[in-house]
A = this chain, B = another copy of it.
């Protein structure tokens, strides 16, 4: 067990030169003679010298570490996004410090604090559902730690953001349905207090209006994401005088529950009623009745974009005025469900 690691000091002693010479020789400083340089580098290789990154980071006041906080990694959207973030990070020699808020503002504050204490070079975060306080983020400003919000972004404008515009996506979706001949379009939305639900509803209403259809709030139901309330919503939608001929589900999970309910009510999925959804998860490639189309939100791309923005912020920190805020809207697309290979365990 090699308790003491090789340092430049040791090498300096062994080679009877100063530590500064060793340091410069290792970084190929032209002022160090070729002979000395070679000797130093040879010895370094021999004893397996490796600079202590902690010492350097300490002196240089950077760590090459980027913090990433998402509500829950088990949500496929976020695991894809992190995958995108991580793959760019490795490319650019950054590492990812990872944490989850579990949609709890208190935990979010705690993990943001711990990232601050670790002095990450920058932070990428998708906010918890309930975040209303931003004081823990302001503390980052004092340390000059740039923040890029993604997907669940704050509403104020003085922040760097990368997100997907579901409002427009919803309008596109309704346009698509209209073109296919669907006129009574239902929506199983999420809880009305969520921003994501409001966005969808706004897009839904404006989309309906845009096609010169009548907005009928009988066609809008809510789910709290449990199978029960989704089924209840389906029940209400199906048992009206004029039931919908197309149903938009809040996400692919809700879609699956809705489809199951439809089947058990002898409805021919995508024939009697068309089902469409948001998200476009890999799993939908394996289910019997995937949505006809999904709104693809490109989590991997959003993640990649977010870290690219962040790295440029980090590297140009000095030149950036407080008033330049990056705001990137990833345009959602309508996508049919692709066939995918299953992951391997």
Interface residues of A (CB under 8 A from B): 1-3, 5, 48, 50, 52-55, 57-58, 61, 63-65, 68, 72-77, 79-80, 82-83, 86-87, 90, 93, 95-100, 102, 107, 110-111, 114-115, 117-119, 129, 141-144, 190, 194, 196, 224-227, 230, 251, 253-254, 256-257, 259-260, 263, 278-279, 282-283, 285-289, 297, 322, 339-345
- Which residue on chain B has the smallest CB distance to residue A230? B342
Q: Which residues of B contact A254 (CB under 8 A)?
A: 342
Q: List 16 A-B contacts (CB under 8 A).
A: A2-B142, A5-B142, A5-B143, A73-B83, A73-B86, A74-B282, A79-B79, A95-B98, A95-B118, A226-B341, A227-B339, A227-B340, A230-B342, A251-B343, A251-B344, A259-B288
Q: Which residues of B contact A226 (CB under 8 A)?
A: 341-342
Kindly identify which residue among B144, B251, B341 contacts A1, using a CB–CB cutoff of 8 Å.
Answer: B144
- B118 pairs with A53, CB closer than 8 A: yes
Tally of this chain's copies: 2
- B98 pairs with A344, CB closer than 8 A: no
Query: Given the known A-B contacts A98-B97, A256-B286, A286-B253, are A225 and B343 also in contact in the complex, defined by CB atoms under 8 Å?
Result: yes
Kindly identify which residue among B99, B144, B251 contacts A342, using a CB–CB cutoff of 8 Å.
Answer: B251
- A225 pairs with B73, CB closer than 8 A: no
CA distance A279 to B227 in the complex (A): 21
Q: Which residues of B contact A143 (CB under 8 A)?
A: 5
- B251 pairs with A345, CB closer than 8 A: yes
Kindly identify which residue among B96, B119, B129 contacts A97, using a CB–CB cutoff of 8 Å.
Answer: B96
- A227 pairs with B341, CB closer than 8 A: yes
Q: Which residues of B contact A119 (CB under 8 A)?
A: 52-54
- A65 pairs with B118, CB closer than 8 A: yes
- B114 pairs with A93, CB closer than 8 A: yes
Q: Which residues of B contact A257 (CB under 8 A)?
A: 286, 342
- A115 pairs with B95, CB closer than 8 A: yes
Query: Given the known A-B contacts A142-B2, A254-B342, A286-B256, are A63 and B54 also in contact in the complex, defined by CB atoms under 8 Å?
Result: yes
CA distance A2 to B263 in the complex (A): 61
Kindly identify which residue among B55, B79, B90, B286 contacts A73, using a CB–CB cutoff of 8 Å.
Answer: B79
Given A54-B54, A253-B343: 7 more A-B contacts, CB < 8 Å: A54-B61, A86-B99, A87-B100, A90-B114, A96-B99, A225-B344, A251-B344
Q: Which residues of B contact A253 (CB under 8 A)?
A: 283, 286, 342-343
CA distance A97 to B110 in the complex (A): 17
- B344 pairs with A75, CB closer than 8 A: yes
**Centre residue among A74, A77, A224, A254 by max chain B CB count within 10 A:** A74
CA distance A314 to B169 in the complex (A): 49
CA distance A224 to B96 in the complex (A): 31
- B345 pairs with A196, CB closer than 8 A: yes
- Which residue on chain B has the smallest CB distance to residue A72? B343
Q: Which residues of B contact A118 (CB under 8 A)?
A: 53, 64-65, 95
CA distance A53 to B196 in the complex (A): 37
Query: Given the known A-B contacts A79-B74, A343-B225, are A144 and B65 also in contact in the complex, defined by CB atoms under 8 Å?
Result: no
Q: Which residues of B contact A230 (CB under 8 A)?
A: 342
Kindly identify which residue among B5, B50, B58 contacts A54, using a CB–CB cutoff of 8 Å.
Answer: B58
Q: Which residues of B contact A76 (CB under 8 A)?
A: 74, 76, 343
CA distance A111 to B89 in the complex (A): 11
